[in-house]
């Protein structure tokens, strides 16, 4: 049996991703094993934070599905589009080049407040991670451990805004801490430039807030 909910969300000053996680997502997912619940909390709040702070969208649509064989979290916004925004910010030739920049895991349009690695970590926590935006449809598989640029014909027409889908098996043994440790061990995480905010502090601050939301 599957539990599913769809919600519309207005984005306005003061919109808080953790409050929305606690009121909209947690009630549907709280029966999950703690490690999977923490992955869902991390991915949901990271991606919703991207919508709130980067998308220039006034609204978002949330879809949450919890079934015995998968948990599927979807977040859609009607903003500029993630690849288009990166293209403009980095003065790149096209959205494909923007995707290549994003895949490195170190790009952000707001370096004073963000490390640019939210998508990098989130994609590696879930079994499957999908971004559909503009003319680009890309996915990341935890098993393949690399980005895949899906066939162009799968995007019938350019998509306004951004759709992110995150899927994980409820029985997964993966943990948020294990993913971060693995990325550091394999040196997938590059050193931050001098003067930048601490990457580990950013990660720890989010996980600490998640822990408080699960303990209440």
Beta carbons of 142 and 59 less than 8 angstroms apart: no
131: phi then psi, degrees, rounded to nearest 5: -125, 125
125, HSE (Cβ side, Cα atoms, 13 Å): 28
Q: In this structure, how many other beta carbons lie within 10 angstroms of the beta carbon of residue 204?
A: 12
User: What is the CATH classification number for the domain harbouring 83?
Assistant: 3.30.565.10
Distance, CA of 83 to CA of 5 (rounded, Å): 28
- How many domains, in total, are found in the chain? 1
Whole-number Å distance between alpha carbons of 192 and 214: 30
Q: DSSP labels for 182-200? A: HHHHTT-SPPPPTTPPPHH
- Asked whether 22 and 30 are in contact (CB, 8 A), the reply is no
8-state DSSP, 135: T
Measured distance CA(76)–CA(48) in Å, rounded? 9
Give the structural domain span for 109.
3-215
Q: What is the pLDDT of residue 198?
A: 43
Structure tokens at 112: 């004073």
What integer pLDDT is reported at residue 197 of this predicted model? 44
Query: Which pLDDT does position 143 carry in this prediction?
Result: 78
Question: Residues in the chain with pLDDT < 70?
Answer: 1, 106-116, 151-159, 184-208, 211-213, 215-216
pLDDT one-digit tens code per residue, 30-75: 999 999 999 999 999 999 999 999 899 999 999 999 999 999 999 9
């Amino acid at each position: 049996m599957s539990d599913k909910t769809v919600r519309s969300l207005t984005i306005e000053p003061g919109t808080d991703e953790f409050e929305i996680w606690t009121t909209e997502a947690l009630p549907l997912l709280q029966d999950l094993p703690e490690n999977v619940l923490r992955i869902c909390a991390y991915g949901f709040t990271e991606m919703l934070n991207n919508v709130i702070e980067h998308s220039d969208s006034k609204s978002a649509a949330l879809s949450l599905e919890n079934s015995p064989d998968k948990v599927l979290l979807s977040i859609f916004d009607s903003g500029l589009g993630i690849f288009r925004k990166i293209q403009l910010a980095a003065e790149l030739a096209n959205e494909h080049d923007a995707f290549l920049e994003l895949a490195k895991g170190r790009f952000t349009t707001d370096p004073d407040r963000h490390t640019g690695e939210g998508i990098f970590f989130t994609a590696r926590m879930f079994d499957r991670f999908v971004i559909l935006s503009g003319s680009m449809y890309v996915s990341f598989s935890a098993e393949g451990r690399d980005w895949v640029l899906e066939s162009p014909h799968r995007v019938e027409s350019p998509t306004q805004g951004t759709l992110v889908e995150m899927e994980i098996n409820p029985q997964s043994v993966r943990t948020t801490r294990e993913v971060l440790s693995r990325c550091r061990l394999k040196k997938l995480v590059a050193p931050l430039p001098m003067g930048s905010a601490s990457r580990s502090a950013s990660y720890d601050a989010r996980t600490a807030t998640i822990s408080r939301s699960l303990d209440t």
